[in-house]
Copies of this chain bind each other. A is one copy, B any other.
């Protein structure tokens, strides 16, 4: 009924008790007489009183709020991770604030400070594919952060990162895709997107190479293009590849870093009059909501992003220091076709 921002003193004096007693009924302690409890509760209701979680936080040293650092929210892939993490946090009574990747990456405005100053109970950091020379800098920033609060990583985490982490087995994922394409008769398989990773045996590059080796296919340098994970980058990359090769050397299948890149690849192929999937099969990754509505509907890898986010929150809260792997699933939709040998 009354207005906002009553304090525990208002309630106490209104109910004619001490603030300690108000605090007791607030926290549902049992050692309060029914009569007193009722009086206090009435005062609370009357004032529409809500205890300040920040005053509580001063004492309990816990803020019940977590942070999550994302490279970009507009990529639905990260939105899904966020969504999973956020829902899990909410179930456990935590709120969740978002921070930009630059919090970790740069010292400019040093928003890592924001993370620390807010005394979060923990933070999840989604690491993107890192260029090797960037690696040390990021690792140092993460280690510093870790001195202030628990940190759990999501994504493609190098094995020498000493952090709890949740990720997919990217190399195994790539091997599966290559094997899948090989089973459809493909031999000229391109891989588009991602950074050059010369150190990490768990990553996609290595999985791609292993996949080829496993199928006794040669590695062709011109089939491997590095680049950013955007649709534009994918369109440019495949476009350049096609334009630079005689048609008889064109790949019959493309593995895209993610669905965005795959979308761009479709556009590039369409512009050059390629029939899909007849002349070009494409596999994406992340299984974005629009994958079923592309032309052709995109075969992709569902990486269970929401589960990934949720697990990260569980690790964060439980304090378990381990690296976990989340399963994935190949979703066949029709963007891949069996190769028809001429003759």
A contact set with B: CB distance below 8 Å: 3-5, 48, 50-55, 57-58, 63, 65, 73-74, 76, 79-80, 82-83, 86, 90, 95-100, 111, 113-114, 116-119, 144, 147-149, 231, 260, 263-264, 266-267, 288-290, 292-295
Contacts and interface: CB of A to CB of B under 8 A. Distances in A.
A152 B309 CA distance: 29
Contact of A95 (B51, B73, B118): B118
A148 B95 CA distance: 18
B99 A95 contact: yes
A118 B95 CA distance: 9
A53 B100 contact: no
Contacts of A288: 290
B63 A74 contact: no
15 contacts: A48-B147, A51-B117, A52-B119, A54-B54, A54-B57, A54-B58, A54-B63, A74-B80, A76-B79, A90-B100, A95-B118, A96-B97, A96-B98, A98-B98, A267-B293
B113 A50 contact: yes
Contacts of A57: 54
A290 to B, nearest CB: 4
Given A54-B63, A54-B118, A95-B97, 19 more contacts: A5-B148, A48-B144, A51-B117, A52-B117, A53-B117, A53-B119, A54-B57, A54-B119, A55-B58, A74-B83, A76-B76, A86-B98, A95-B118, A263-B290, A263-B293, A264-B293, A290-B290, A294-B294, A295-B295
10 pairs of A and B residues whose beta carbons are closest in the complex: A295-B295, A290-B290, A53-B117, A263-B293, A50-B116, A97-B97, A4-B148, A4-B147, A95-B97, A54-B54
A339 to B, nearest CB: 24
A15 to B, nearest CB: 20
A73 B79 contact: yes
Contacts of A65: 97, 118
Contacts of A292: 231, 267
B90 A83 contact: no
Contacts of A73: 79, 82-83, 86
Contacts of A144: 48
A113 B5 CA distance: 13
A74 B289 CA distance: 9
A4 B79 CA distance: 31
Contacts of A53: 117-119
A37 B55 CA distance: 30
Contacts of A90: 100, 111
A118 to B, nearest CB: 5
A14 B76 CA distance: 48
A74 B76 contact: yes
Contacts of A118: 53-54, 65, 95
Contacts of A51: 117
